[in-house]
Structure 1
Amino acid sequence: MSSLAAATLRPLRIGMVGGGTVGGGVYDIIMGRLGGSSVDTTGQMASSSTRRCVITKICVRDLAKPRSFHVDEDKTTLVSDVNSILDDDSIDIVVEVMGGTSLARTVVLEALKRGKSVVTANKALIAEHLSEIHTAVEQSVGNGVKFGYEAAVAGGIPIISTLQNCFAGDIINEIGGIINGTTNYMLGKMEDGADYDEVLKEAQDLGFAEADPTADVEGHDVRAKIAILAKLAFGTTVDVEEIPCNGISQISSVDFEYAKLLNCTIKLIGTAARLSQYG
């Protein structure tokens, strides 16, 4: 899209569902630091020559609750009913940052049904309902809707678009790696001699780990991510609950001593493979 064509188009209007920490970060980037971001036609952050976007509505549970981010009331309206976003024909994109799976699934599917593109990083939602969501996108193909979830797994690589595009014609037999930054940080510190409780608190103070770190330290985050990658790599849906999962909460300094004797270290790895390749 040329800069002239982009200038003649109205901004893309975004409705955001959820106003917590993640939502505040999204709002700050799009509306605060950049004063209304620009995106290209594939939805990637781009230069000022591309189409601009603005968050016009945010749906929150409690309108009176103090926010950790400043909302520009001249450009953005806080609402407590998600239908205020879903029923708004002027909204082009719904960004889901509420978490959970039940209500989030309803919001995502309903938004797609109504011709709105959706962006989310909700790993649990995607791991459980990706096939259903893809079907909804296909059924709305005439509306030009898209479902973006690059940030759900290793967005910095980025691995999802790489699997979807660069390896579309390849047969993938195995996929794996370190896909949780919180536990990787913690294990690195523990290898240097810090104990588990000490480094967990440090990770929480730095904002790497949540107040409830269960999803990270027990491996649930990695389990959801590897389910998503298995779907993309192998085209098969894996029940998240059937994936064997061991986190790092039982790891101690003694384990690292044994690892050093073997000239090894300890990492939390997510992996999936086609069993048929092994006979």
Structure 2
Amino acid sequence: MPAKFRVGLIGLGHVGGVVARRLTEGPSISEAAGRPVVLVGVAVARPQGRTAPAPLVSADALMADKSLDALIEVAGGLEPARSLLERGLSRGLQVITANKQVIAAHGPALARLGRLRFEASVASAVPIVETLADDLAADTITGISGILNGTTNMLLEAMAGGREFGTALAEAQAAGLAEADPSADVDAHDPAAKLAILVMLAFHRRIDVAAIPRVGIRGITSQELSAARGRGRVIKLIAAARAVASGIEADVRPRSLPTAEPLSRVGGALNGIRVDAQAAGPLFFQGAGAGPEAAASAVIADLIRAARDAPAMAGAALARLAGAPLTPVGSWPPGEPFPSVP
């Protein structure tokens, strides 16, 4: 029988809970991996009163387990997540994370240390990360654009139906579809971090996520959305980037799209990403970009690749950027359509 692949999990929130359940509910993951995949411990900050399908331990105790083959981090935030990922990579573990903040800010430096996988960090279950790093590795990407935040997409749809921003947000918060502090979403910080990751993979340039210009959706009114619809257009929060001679042009801002543009038809909390490539032409990806099940699906896909000992292509792409100078980022002219809009 093939050797067991022993996994430690950091974080038992919404995503971590689904990952833990799926790792212990049946043999399907082990069958896909071709070897037994075993969850040996779960690290949480406050284990009192918590239950899990594996022993609850401190992060230090989990990191001290010499039997581990892989580490999954779904706790979120910059620290201690970054430090724990660094420790895991430095001791030779295969490391999987859904943490967009850490990857956007420290991905290249971490990836240089070992095998780092992060499919869930952008658009959750939409398979864009490894696609850019592997399937499109021989192509030249000319532009990338997308709806990378399901919460704001859902809010804009509600506002197009007549609700004002505050009302739509309150209803989404009451339904558990928006955070109590929605600033990461509505002020475009979340999609900016995801765009920074896509830029590194698509254009092989290291950028500072803080340099990406961003405009959120707080200032949009239902009247503006209705007026756009009357002109046959739809307003969406779009993250877009392209490589230019001076560096990278990128931003996140509401844009008015024609209804012929596929991104205009991405509904609800879905994510959509358009990749323009020289050989492949325009490619469009759409799917569940948020929610525990979607994120857990991407995490487990990375885990299966790790258990198969498959190359970490996206991590290798970021590792090549470690130590590279930051590329200047300029704003995409607001009135100029990005390449995916005719």
Give the alignment's TM-score, normalised by structure 1.
0.82
Question: 1:157-168 counterparts in 2 under 5 A?
Answer: 157-168=126-137
| Residues 22 and 211 of structure 1: CA distance in aligned 2, closer, same or farther (over 3 Å) | farther
Instruction: Tell me whether 1:104 sits opposite 2:81 in the alignment.
Output: yes
Q: Is contact 2:7-2:71 (8 Å) kept?
A: yes
| Residues 87 and 96 of structure 1: CA distance in aligned 2, closer, same or farther (over 3 Å) | same
Gaps of 5+ in 1: 1-7, 40-45, 138-145
Partner of 2:177: 208
Q: Is contact 1:189-1:199 (8 Å) kept?
A: yes
| Residues 236 and 203 of structure 1: CA distance in aligned 2, closer, same or farther (over 3 Å) | same
> Post-superposition shift, 1:195?
2.4
> Post-superposition shift, 1:37?
5.0
> Post-superposition shift, 1:103?
1.6
Partner of 1:92: 69
Q: Is contact 2:77-2:101 (8 Å) kept?
A: yes
Partner of 2:103: 126
Question: 1:149-164 counterparts in 2 under 5 A?
Answer: 149-164=118-133
The one-letter code matched in structure 1 to 2:42 is I
Q: Is contact 2:42-2:52 (8 Å) kept?
A: no
Give the Cα–Cα distance (whole angstroms) in 2 for the partners of residues 71 and 105 of structure 1.
24
SS of the residue 1:51 aligns to: coil
Q: Is contact 1:86-1:114 (8 Å) kept?
A: no
Give the Cα–Cα distance (whole angstroms) in 2 for the partners of residues 96 and 120 of structure 1.
5
Question: 1:1-279 counterparts in 2 under 5 A?
Answer: 8-31=1-24, 34-35=25-26, 37-39=28-30, 47=32, 50-64=34-48, 66-67=49-50, 70-72=51-53, 76-80=54-58, 82-137=59-114, 146-276=115-245
CA deviations on 1:157-190 (whole Å, 9 max, x unpaired) are 3111110111101121211111111111111121
Gaps of 5+ in 2: 249-342
Aligned residues: CA RMSD: 2.0
SS of the residue 2:113 aligns to: helix
The one-letter code matched in structure 2 to 1:230 is V
Give the Cα–Cα distance (whole angstroms) in 2 for the partners of residues 211 and 13 of structure 1.
36
Partner of 1:4: none
Partner of 2:304: none
Give the Cα–Cα distance (whole angstroms) in 1 for the partners of residues 14 and 94 of structure 2.
22
SS of the residue 1:189 aligns to: helix
The one-letter code matched in structure 1 to 2:16 is G
Give the Cα–Cα distance (whole angstroms) in 2 for the partners of residues 199 and 27 of structure 1.
33
> Post-superposition shift, 1:19?
2.2
Percentage identity across paired residues of the two chains:
39
CA deviations on 1:182-206 (whole Å, 9 max, x unpaired) are 1111111211222222322333344
Give the Cα–Cα distance (whole angstroms) in 2 for the partners of residues 176 and 212 of structure 1.
26
Higher mean displacement: 162-171 or 188-197: 188-197
The one-letter code matched in structure 1 to 2:8 is G
Structure 1 stretches of 4+ moved >6 Å: none
Q: Is contact 2:148-2:191 (8 Å) kept?
A: yes
More relative contact order, 1 or 2 (CA 8 Å, 6+ apart): 2
The one-letter code matched in structure 1 to 2:19 is V
SS of the residue 1:268 aligns to: strand
- The structure carrying a bigger helix percent of its residues is 1
Give the Cα–Cα distance (whole angstroms) in 1 for the partners of residues 239 and 119 of structure 2.
17
Give the Cα–Cα distance (whole angstroms) in 2 for the partners of residues 18 and 165 of structure 1.
29
SS of the residue 1:266 aligns to: strand
The one-letter code matched in structure 1 to 2:26 is G
Q: Is contact 2:188-2:215 (8 Å) kept?
A: yes
Give the Cα–Cα distance (whole angstroms) in 1 for the partners of residues 9 and 27 of structure 2.
14
